[in-house]
Amino acid sequence: MKKTLLTLGLLLFSLVNFAQETFMVQTETRYWDAAKTYTGYTLFGTRGTSYLIDMEGHVIHTWNIGTNPRFTEGGTLLDAVGGNPSNSNVWKELDWNGNTVWQYTETRSGYYPHHDFAKIYNPKLGDSTFIYIANKDLTPAQCLAAGCDTTSNYTGAQVDVIVEVNMQGTVIWEWWFFDHVVQDLYPSKPNYGVVKNKPGKINLNLAGNRVQKDWMHCNSLDYNEQLDQIVINSVHGEFYVIDHGNTFIANQPANSIALAATTAGDFLYRFGDPAKYNQGNPPSILTNWEKATTGHKQIGGAHDIQWIKPGLPGAGHFLVFNNAENLFELTPQSYIVEINPYLDSNLTVNSSYVNPPNAKYNFVSSPDMNLMKEKKNVSKQIVWMYSSKNNTSFYSTIGSSAQRLPNGNTLVCSMNDGHFFEVHPSDTSIVWEYINPMTRDGIKKVKVDNYPTYNGVFRAYRYTATHPALVGHTLTPGATMTGSTPNYFTPTDLTFVKEYEQPKPIGDVLNQNYPNPFSTNTTIDFSLNESKLVTLEVFDFNGGHIKTLVNKNYTTGNYSVTWDATNDSGSKVSSGIYVYILKGNNQQLSKKMVLIK
């Protein structure tokens, strides 16, 4: 393992954000603090292939399927077929060798599966089952009969449903949002009521968001076997907890579906945007319309809702990737949010769910004025949150995931940039970082500026060799995806960087070299404010002297020097990060540059 890295930024959030400054970034493993990571194997799907890699980025195994893969407790790989998380009606379980051991296809008219699914153990059935999200068609007549505003057109309307099938492919339970609605326009209809008093139901006539195609756009779900409950997330800023156990009757599919449609299937808990049930303020433009407030809305465009699993730090809490779209923040950024749904306004842990508005909020100021954010209401039920200090460094508008690891770290997948990183719980430092090299144009060693999801990955998961899917299999590291030798930073590299921190310039100016990165030659410009003896030297990232470019007297003025990537002996140097230092009259300026061959 080499300790020099072929990119400029050591860590995306700790030092220079290379992608912002030059719109280029090296792919694959970029940093690894082995002492602080939850070391294991990372699984992700991209461009129709699932990859299992080690911490250095060596490929351990692949499968010819790659949409939204995950390992099951039965030791198989489960994924949707087709490569598009937003639209797939076929799912497969594959063994280690890629053989199909189970498959299910949704063939019913009017059902359109999308985004998420899970294999679960149904305790009432005493067997494994499969659940998934689908849009279910509505007719205009159904919409109007339920109390939708008669001034709108409901052609093509759909509302999400959760479907459960057994291992034989028979539908045994369904839960539909449309069975749990409230409206306050038509008193003669049975679902008429005061929206504020019905938090267990969704407002059928949400202002500005009438029932339409893909109305809820749910994108993730999870199952809690201990509670026998399901949580499902809507991209519009809320997630909902549903009672599966008390709406399921073993071996009675018709009765189970009917029971799920009753008040027994109303939400047990909801989080994210209390304005949707008239118990909070929505985001809004302020009187000075150049500013806005998030109101009481906590999440927006979120993905990957889940319960933190038993035995993990935060067990029983919710963890969600808050993409943070539609929050009306002047400078948006994404967050990982952990929520304790049992906390009340006194921060007392209750035995049952607490409605978030009743738990109240903290009115929180931005930690730094340069974030350019207004104060906002943060739910007291949020017990941990991660975001990058530089708000422009971490923002994914679509997809993405977060996974709580046994050592308390959190593995994050930011879909827009195909960016995986592991976050330490206390100081929120990055202890591992990886960039997916598979792009729309093939495998790339360096990713340049592209539109979002050019190398996107919907989710990523970390497993150890003791997981049932890996036990008994040879986990010999192969080549990396690019075929390159792993080339990343370690903590030793990071601490050494401080020796080269640039002091405040006093008159003289040292400019960034160009081009940067470079492969053969690069130019360094500098300006002097007085006549003096000047040296300009190049060092490797371990502090070793490479070459003296300048060592003579100069007068006041602007100058340029070219470096041809050779050392003082005239030999070509290897790829990596180099530091160039300008010295004169006891003053010193330095910058980093990247050589890529």
- Choose one of 456, 490, 524: the last residue of a domain: 490
Domain annotation covers residue 18:
yes
- Residue range(s) defining the domain that contains residue 525: 502-595
Q: Is 161:176 a contact under the CB 8 Å cutoff?
A: yes
Domain annotation covers residue 515:
yes
Verify that 515 and 578 share a domain, yes or no.
yes
The pTM score is 0.80
**CA-to-CA distance for 483 and 374, rounded, in angstroms?**
46
Verify that 485 and 544 share a domain, yes or no.
no
Sign of CA dihedral 391, 397, 400, 401: positive
Verify that 2 and 80 share a domain, yes or no.
yes
**CA-to-CA distance for 502 and 507, rounded, in angstroms?**
14
Domain CATH code at residue 537 = 2.60.40.1930
**CA-to-CA distance for 203 and 197, rounded, in angstroms?**
11
- Choose one of 436, 463, 490: the last residue of a domain: 490
Collapsed DSSP state (helix, strand, coil) of residue 500: helix
320: tokens are 């969600």
498: tokens are 């401080």
Prior bond of 517 cis (ω within 30°): yes
Domain annotation covers residue 199:
no
pLDDT of residue 597: 67
Domain annotation covers residue 29:
yes
Burial (0-12, 13-18, 19+ Cβ within 10 Å), 427: exposed
- Choose one of 490, 511, 540: the last residue of a domain: 490
Domain annotation covers residue 549:
yes
Verify that 521 and 478 share a domain, yes or no.
no
Burial (0-12, 13-18, 19+ Cβ within 10 Å), 349: exposed
Burial (0-12, 13-18, 19+ Cβ within 10 Å), 148: buried
Collapsed DSSP state (helix, strand, coil) of residue 442: strand
Sequential pLDDT tens for the chain (597 residues): 444 433 333 334 333 333 333 468 899 999 999 999 999 999 999 999 999 999 999 999 999 999 999 999 999 999 999 878 888 899 999 999 999 999 999 999 999 999 999 999 999 999 999 999 999 999 999 999 999 999 999 999 999 999 999 999 999 999 999 999 999 999 999 999 999 999 999 999 998 899 999 999 999 999 999 999 999 999 999 999 999 999 999 999 999 999 999 999 999 999 999 999 999 999 999 899 999 999 999 999 999 999 999 999 999 999 999 999 999 999 999 999 999 999 999 999 999 999 999 999 999 998 888 999 999 999 999 999 999 999 889 999 999 999 999 999 999 999 999 999 999 998 889 999 999 999 999 999 999 989 999 999 999 999 999 999 999 999 999 999 999 999 999 998 875 433 334 444 447 889 888 888 788 889 999 889 888 899 999 988 667 899 999 999 989 888 999 999 999 999 999 887 788 999 888 678 888 888 876
pLDDT of residue 542: 66
Widest CA span in the chain: 93
Domain annotation covers residue 276:
no
Specify the number of domains making up the chain. Answer: 2
pLDDT of residue 23: 66
Verify that 479 and 507 share a domain, yes or no.
no
Verify that 506 and 579 share a domain, yes or no.
yes
Q: Is 29:51 a contact under the CB 8 Å cutoff?
A: no
pLDDT of residue 19: 36
Domain annotation covers residue 553:
yes
- Concatenated DSSP letters of 15-84: S--HHHHHSEEE-EEEEE-TTTS--SEEEEEETTEEEEE-TT-BEEEEES--SS-EE-TTS-EEEESSS-
Domain annotation covers residue 512:
yes
Verify that 437 and 509 share a domain, yes or no.
no
Verify that 25 and 3 share a domain, yes or no.
yes
**Residue 18 half-sphere exposure, CB side, CA atoms within 13 Å?**
24
